[in-house]
Structure 1
């Protein structure tokens, strides 16, 4: 039970589970440990599991036809990781999910999630709320990418996710921001001069 506590705590911040409901949930989930560099999901494979990060860090990215990597998300402790489109539709994934650090996840399959929702109806509300939050965050990111300068996007990233920047190579942050690592380096130098 203890190894699932981070997920139970996260859920209980949104909907309150009874002890009996927590026991049912624990019976439907498992933990998985991955090494740095290991893939949780590869582009083109069907996403069989949704993962909740207990420790470590992952990056979600896609590789275009020219072999260029485009980072769309980082996931650290108390974040979710998967390719939601692939997971829900059980179709080939558009994204890769790779560990940037040794990572421990709590995972469950689409079928297990359906069983959770059947056995613990209040989890419908939980998943609706977190998906709504993710959708809003995604829309806001699109607006930021369309309307903010690269410098302002970087400042937002640094302020919004201060603990992540220290854990992630700069070229990946640049990819996430949609700029080159050289341009990110130039922005950081400019910010130092402005201080």
Structure 2
């Protein structure tokens, strides 16, 4: 199945597009392979695109004042990723978006975004539902960090995304879950006993 078909399969879970509207969307998307560790957004740049992950993994992170990287989001196949604040306001981003693995994406440029919403109103429905899902996931992450122990956060994530945990560097998983790599090593050793 090609990347466009993966996207349309994903869209069909939420709304229907006619073949003409699918072709219009295809005409606005750009395919790109992003090598592991390459950035598609660097802090202080304006974010001008949304990325639909076809294969691989991306991370959305910030460099902290004390020199650490704080990962706020991962994007795996069939997920969208962008700095929506920078995308909407045209202000420089405080974040980076980087390929964790060799990754294939479909890129929707900001310059085509609004026009597509006018020409394909079904995409308004689709992206609204994607934003709702992203918002819900963000709230769940905040809840886990504020209300659950580090061990429970780790267990929850491992149970929810077992294959994913095996495919990303452990220091990134630790950053995402809000603890140090050393603490993660201790948790994993404890689980293996």
Task: Show the counterpart of 1:175.
Answer: 175
Q: CA deviation at 1:2?
A: 4.2
Q: CA deviation at 1:83?
A: 1.0
Task: Show the counterpart of 2:164.
Answer: 164
Between the aligned partners of 1:107 and 1:117, the Cα distance in structure 2 is: 16
User: Counterpart of 1:24 in 2: which secondary structure?
Assistant: helix
User: Counterpart of 2:28 in 1: which secondary structure?
Assistant: coil
TM-score (norm 2): 0.96
Query: Deviations for 1:79-136, whole angstroms, at most 9, x for unmatched residues?
Result: 1111111112121112101111111100111221111111111111111111011111
Task: Show the counterpart of 1:80.
Answer: 80
Structure 1, gaps ≥5 residues long = none
Q: Where in structure 2 are the equivalents of 1:118-157 lying within 5 Å? A: 118-157=118-157
Query: Is 1:60 matched with 2:50?
Result: no
User: Counterpart of 1:185 in 2: which secondary structure?
Assistant: helix
Q: Where in structure 2 are the equivalents of 1:25-40 lying within 5 Å? A: 25-40=25-40
TM-score (norm 1): 0.95
Task: Show the counterpart of 2:47.
Answer: 47
User: Counterpart of 1:104 in 2: which secondary structure?
Assistant: strand
Query: Deviations for 1:135-154, whole angstroms, at most 9, x for unmatched residues?
Result: 11111111110000000000
Task: Show the counterpart of 2:12.
Answer: 12
Q: CA deviation at 1:4?
A: 1.6
Task: Show the counterpart of 1:97.
Answer: 97
Between the aligned partners of 2:182 and 2:109, the Cα distance in structure 1 is: 40
Q: CA deviation at 1:3?
A: 3.9
